[in-house]
Structure 1
Amino acid sequence: MKYIFLSLLAVASTASAHYTFPELIVGGKTTGQWTYVRKTANYQSNGPTTDVTANAIRCYELAPGTGAETYTVNAGDTVGFTAVSSISHPGPLQFYLAKVPEDKTAATWDGSGNVWFKIYSQGATFSDGQMNWASSGRSPPTFPYIHLRKSQEQRLTSTRIGKQQVPVTLPKSLPSGEYLLRVEHIALHSASAVGGAQFYISCAQLKVANGGTGSPTGLVAFPGAYKATDPGIQINIYYPVPTSYTPPGPAVWTG
């Protein structure tokens, strides 16, 4: 009976907790919800998007426009997003940038085309037969439960709060100009089936000053960068516990 309870507890804890990234952080200071971040379609429900072939995988924004302002930062600054109420599911955290074309502005550009490059990727670490996710502050439970050790039972039944702020440092060689900054957390607790991965996404609008002369590589489009069957998207993280994990998408451009 104890193992049935633990199984139900694990399912309940991962089924109810959704989140958004509504607020830009610059230099450790928050800037107001949906002020510099495009309001997402889940701003009320907090629910995820799951179709990697849909336009929602880009910025998950409401139609028809953004209504957001553009924040001026310097190349090399640390920026980020708040997570409301916190990142509650296991999975990778990634950041992308897309440079706005010269004849457009961050306030109106849709971010289409092979323009996105990855600047940060945080996957899993592995210890004691577990996958550990720094962004969510948790390890997924191990199945079947009859093999749980006492330490694993305690880890499963304790409350663990995920990250409420997720920072990233802009490359110092990033050229000056206007950009969309895309945060992406992929929840993998139901990802064993195609379409089961949950994507929590937001895009902020930035104007980068004092930039460098770098030339970003690994440009991809959203949709287009991912397939539903990519091994970093369709994966059973519970049993047998994987011994390695690579997040989807191109390599990180470090500048």
Structure 2
Amino acid sequence: MKLVRQLSLLSVLSLATIKGFAHYTLPDLIVNGTVTADWQYVRETANHYSNGPVTDVTSDAIRCYELDSTSAGAAGIATVAAGSTVGFRSNIALYHPGYLSAYMSPASPAANSNSAGLGKTWFKIWEAKPAYSSSTGMTFPTENEQEFTFTIPKSTPTGQYLLRGEQIALHVASTVDGAQFYIGCAQLNVVNGGSGKPGPLVSFPGAYSPTDPGILINIYTLPAGYAGYQAREYSRRILRYRKSFTTRAIAGPAVWSG
């Protein structure tokens, strides 16, 4: 009986250890419903074995989390039309609570160049916001999904780009450098584009601060301003605050929709 208890305890500890380290990567590009092979168009990331996240938003790893200087040349360049549905598939479900964003950056001279994505060139094209209610607290509609997709704006100019998919996991984000960033950068050749002027433009690193409201946050505690909230109170002030909170709980610039 003692041996059985010890084995059961070891099993529980083993499962806890596995879950603790079972983070994820974003190795697969999705184009119009088709999932491509691992790292076929996505630059291989430094966590391709460990699955570990980036936690320092001031490091160069926050850009594309590349394995090394060979990642860009090893990945191909996928040709997609402006207006196409694209996205990423993770190696396991995105089980951490957090939100998703997608950015693009023009790539010159080519998407597989190591200089692509440097400087203030990135613009956000999509985000999946958290939701909030008094009964559930903050929730994340994309939690436990393995794929996320979005549209390249139809007015995106023709050319080569980096497409950066990201989940910011917030389960331990109540202290500085607690938020976890899971990142993948795919290399694209966008055709049949338009004459839009993407913006606002940001850089990586530079787009985020360790103390941004959407990065330094305790998602398990009611935000300031809800302390006296009662279920029967639906004043305009409270409804405005709820809307603004879920908006400012997203890091980075506004979405450019074209």
TM range (shorter): 0.7 to 0.9
CA shift digits 1:166-193 (9 cap, x unpaired) = 1010000000000000001000000000
Matches within 5 A, 1:35-114: 35-66=40-71, 67-101=74-108, 104-110=109-115, 111-114=117-120
Q: Percent identity?
A: 51
Q: Distance in 2 between matches of 1:75 and 1:221?
A: 23
Which one of the candidate residues 244, 247, 252 is aligned to 2:255?
252
1:231 equivalent in alignment to 2:175: no
Aligned length, in residue pairs: 219
Higher relative contact order (CA 8 A, sep 6+): 1
Q: SS of 1:33's equivalent? A: coil
Q: Distance in 1 between matches of 2:180 and 2:221?
A: 19
- Aligned-residue CA RMSD (Å): 1.8
Aligned partner of 1:15 in structure 2 is 20
Between structures 1 and 2, the one with greater helix share: 2
Q: SS of 1:201's equivalent? A: strand
Q: Contact 2:21–2:51 (CA<8 Å) still a contact in 1? A: no
Instruction: Flag structure 2 segments of 5+ consecutive residues without an equivalent.
Output: 1-15, 225-241
Instruction: Flag structure 1 segments of 5+ consecutive residues without an equivalent.
Output: 1-10, 137-161
Q: Contact 1:38–1:204 (CA<8 Å) still a contact in 2? A: yes
1:209 equivalent in alignment to 2:188: no
Q: Distance in 2 between matches of 1:112 and 1:52?
A: 15
Q: Distance in 1 between matches of 2:152 and 2:23?
A: 27
Q: Distance in 2 between matches of 1:167 and 1:205?
A: 16
1:24 equivalent in alignment to 2:29: yes
Q: Contact 1:14–1:89 (CA<8 Å) still a contact in 2? A: no
Q: SS of 2:184's equivalent? A: strand
Q: Contact 2:26–2:90 (CA<8 Å) still a contact in 1? A: yes
CA shift digits 1:189-222 (9 cap, x unpaired) = 0000001000000000000000000000110000
Bigger shift: 177-186 or 243-252?
A: 243-252
Q: Distance in 2 between matches of 1:125 and 1:113?
A: 32
Q: Distance in 2 between matches of 1:218 and 1:206?
A: 20
Aligned partner of 1:178 in structure 2 is 160
Q: Measure how far apart 1:121 and its partner are.
A: 1.0
Q: Contact 1:19–1:88 (CA<8 Å) still a contact in 2? A: no
TM-score normalised by the chain length of structure 2: 0.81
Q: Measure how far apart 1:15 and its partner are.
A: 3.5
Q: SS of 1:57's equivalent? A: helix
CA shift digits 1:109-141 (9 cap, x unpaired) = 4311000000001121123242110111xxxxx
Q: 1:202 corresponds to which letter in structure 2?
A: G
Q: 1:178 corresponds to which letter in structure 2?
A: Q
TM-score normalised by the chain length of structure 1: 0.82
Q: Distance in 1 between matches of 2:253 and 2:162?
A: 17
Q: Measure how far apart 1:14 and its partner are.
A: 7.1
Instruction: State which structure, 1 or 2, has the greater radius of gyration over its C-alpha atoms.
Output: 2
